[in-house]
Structure 1
Amino acid sequence: MKLQHVDIHNAITALSCALDLVGVDEVRHGKRVAIMANSIARHLNWPELECLSSLYAGMLHDCGVSRIHEHRRLTETLEWVGAEDHCIRGADYLSACPPLAHLSAEIRYHHTRWEKLLESPVDHRVRLRANLLYLADRIDMLQVPFLNSDRILTEYPAIIAQIKTLSGVLFAPELVDAFAEIADVEAFWLAMEPEYLDEDLRNIGSHIPATLLDIPALKELAWLFSRVVDAKSPYTDEHSQRVAQIARQLAMDFGIKGYELEQVEIAGLLHDIGKLRVSEDIIDKPGSLTQNERSTMHRHSYDTFRILQRVFNDSKIPVWAGFHHETLIGDGYPFKNDNKELDLECRIIAVADIFQALAQDRPYRHTMSLEYIINDLQSRVASGHLDAKVVAKLAENAELYYRLAMA
């Protein structure tokens, strides 16, 4: 079985960038939580693996959040009703992804009070790691109003004082004490500025060797983030997974096999990862989009391309996923590439995406019949937007593809 060198550190950092898109107005929350949690863990002389676990859990701790309205609540108050919902979702996502399953328990409890955690049947080290995430997460909520301004230098003592009042209640006393010791200097807070944050993450990653992952592990990572993307709206539930199944079957019908076939499926799973940036108000809008809303929607494929370049830098996956809204006559987006620049795999994913979207209920229309969908695809062939051979191949076995789209 073919293995791929994957820089897990860069992969998790890139996936954190995808989660950052949910914030829209306030990004890098996951990275700040990661750096703060890692700093506190190192100050407490935790084992190296636990320090790295805190770093990666920090970057992924909000993987259960894909809706912008829910993300905004994360930066408004220390506690709120329903905070545990995204913890449970995130833990479920991670537990189903073996390369990252070891992070699921601490994600599950990262909004649980320390006093309640002490009563839970959870391993003590898991308690501490989960509570460390909670602590770093809430510290970031308190510093957000002062980010990227010198006001943080006058406000941070009040943040430390407020956290200290919650010792033994929300947070473990030993974690609060460690935070208070390392945060009582300006450097701790100035390191949260974007350029320094990214530089520090790169420096940490430079000492971590690349990991070999097999194809099933790569697909599990892709599956994890397809679930996060598709959870943005009830109208896009399982869209990415079904597009991936349709694209895989089409690729097989064209004789594509082996590693290339697996990459087609992964690209299908991840083709909409950039949509995390798009508000659910736009995705769920029952009427036509305004010009500004359409512009926001159009950028998602570019964000997909750039994020996937960081994870799969020696693969065609970023191209095949990021070009799924390009057309053969060059009037698509985001690059306006034409047929000379579109691999067969790009054309396959473009057809699979439209086919599945038309077969799925959307806020502005009901699911379309198979006959309607085939006619629609053929009209797009006639206008020069879709590949005639790919649409013809799908039409040969249309009932099978319709079942894949609807299953």
Structure 2
Amino acid sequence: MKILHDNLKGSTQEKVNLLESRQEHCIIGEHNLRDFPFLTNPKNIIRYHHEKCDGSGFFGLSNDEIPLMAQIIAFSDTLDLAFDLRNTINKELIIMFVYEHKTTFFSSALSEVFFKISEQDEFWEALSDENIDDNLKKVIPNYSNELDYSEIHTITKTLSKIIDAKSQYTQTHSLGLSEKLERMSEFYGMDPIMTLKLLIATDLHDLGKLAISNYLLDKPGELSKDEYEEIKKHAKITKLCLQNIKGFKEITEWASNHHEKLDGSGYPQGLKAKDLDFNSRLIACLDIYQALREERPYRKSMDHIKAMGILKSMTECGQLDTDIVGDINNVFSKDVSSKASR
């Protein structure tokens, strides 16, 4: 829960600071995780993670009205924002801060627990950069469970919302891509398992963008050569994040190949037609179509006809699969015809 508590964030530091001062990120953050298959009941933990024990938080809850897990997240979040917890020089300042805000920001019970464990040198040493990963592994329960693709899709749908929230221009990108993938899957008569695997790939295809600066993602003008190279890294990062997950071999390829082109001009690997299977080609075509139908900082959204014109020109250059682009036109031109006839 702590890892996911600020799942609406992922923007510039200025925007992050703004969100911290608004209850919006608590409400939407809670909504984003409503279908996540937690092992315990997480209801209202994210919603109330900015509440204070004196009732001065966003929702006015106080003391025991605030779920304990929300109190713990708020406690650690407050200290993390106020101090560099990795620097032991801040030790006395941190302890004094907690003492001064005992019964206002933090409950007496939680504060007393902190005072007790903060007496141990090991507690502070565990927060250093070189120790924190190993110490987290020690306290995280050793839990493993095999999930089917339907259960995995429940998780990746949540992750796609977090990915899309990275930029105001991509807030519905993965959702739109998934909806179009389902339409094409139905058109091709794909079996349910294949459809689920493709949906998981579309949910995660832009995972690497979480590591890309919003300065670049939201830049209103043309990107420089170096900036474009930085943006391109997201596809490789997606692959690095997914490639070691058991049962994800095909999903990893489909997700990370969404910017590859049949003529080898794509990225991150410069794959050619012989290296790209049907599903990689399908997601690549749909990703471009979906992106063209959306607004970007440097252009307006395009209608179906204009978007298809660009896709068709890319088939003529040998970059996209001609048959798939034709099928996309057949499926989604019906939407245009339907709207026109109303």
TM-score with structure 2 length normalisation?
A: 0.87
Alpha-carbon shift at residue 243 of structure 1 (Å)? 0.7
Residue equivalent to 1:102: 41
Alpha-carbon shift at residue 58 of structure 1 (Å)? 1.1
In 2: Cα distance, 1:227 partner to 1:282 partner: 20
1:179-211 deviation line (CA, Å, top 9, x unaligned): 121123332222223443323344455721324
Residue equivalent to 1:347: 281
Which of 180, 189, 202 aligns to 1:246? It is 180
Residue equivalent to 1:92: 31
Amino acid at match of 1:155: N
Alpha-carbon shift at residue 87 of structure 1 (Å)? 1.5
Give the structure, 1 or 2, with the largest relative contact order (CA under 8 Å, sep 6 or more).
1
Aligned 8 A contact 2:294 2:300 in 1: yes
Aligned 8 A contact 1:328 1:339 in 2: yes
Distance 1:302 1:104, change over 3 A: farther
Which of 77, 87, 98 aligns to 1:137? It is 77
Residue equivalent to 1:210: 145
User: Which runs of 5 or more residues in structure 1 are unaligned?
Assistant: 1-56
Alpha-carbon shift at residue 335 of structure 1 (Å)? 2.0
Alpha-carbon shift at residue 249 of structure 1 (Å)? 2.4
Aligned 8 A contact 1:326 1:337 in 2: yes
Residue equivalent to 2:103: 168
Alpha-carbon shift at residue 347 of structure 1 (Å)? 0.9
Residue equivalent to 1:184: 119
Percentage identity across paired residues of the two chains: 29
1:234-254 deviation line (CA, Å, top 9, x unaligned): 322311111112123223333
Residue equivalent to 1:73: 17
Amino acid at match of 1:170: F
**What is the root-mean-square deviation in Å for CA atoms of aligned residues?**
2.9
In 2: Cα distance, 1:242 partner to 1:176 partner: 46
SS in 1 for 2:147: strand
Alpha-carbon shift at residue 155 of structure 1 (Å)? 2.3
1:89-110 deviation line (CA, Å, top 9, x unaligned): 1111112435478324111111
Alpha-carbon shift at residue 175 of structure 1 (Å)? 0.9
Residue equivalent to 1:159: 94
Alpha-carbon shift at residue 124 of structure 1 (Å)? 3.7
Distance 1:347 1:205, change over 3 A: farther
Which of 282, 290, 295 aligns to 2:216? It is 282
TM-score with structure 1 length normalisation?
A: 0.74
In 2: Cα distance, 1:180 partner to 1:366 partner: 55
Residue equivalent to 2:5: 61
Distance 1:296 1:259, change over 3 A: same
- Does structure 1 residue 221 correspond to structure 2 residue 155? yes
In 2: Cα distance, 1:113 partner to 1:123 partner: 8
In 1: Cα distance, 2:317 partner to 2:82 partner: 53
Total equivalences in the alignment: 337
In 1: Cα distance, 2:336 partner to 2:40 partner: 33
In 2: Cα distance, 1:385 partner to 1:277 partner: 27
Distance 1:183 1:316, change over 3 A: farther
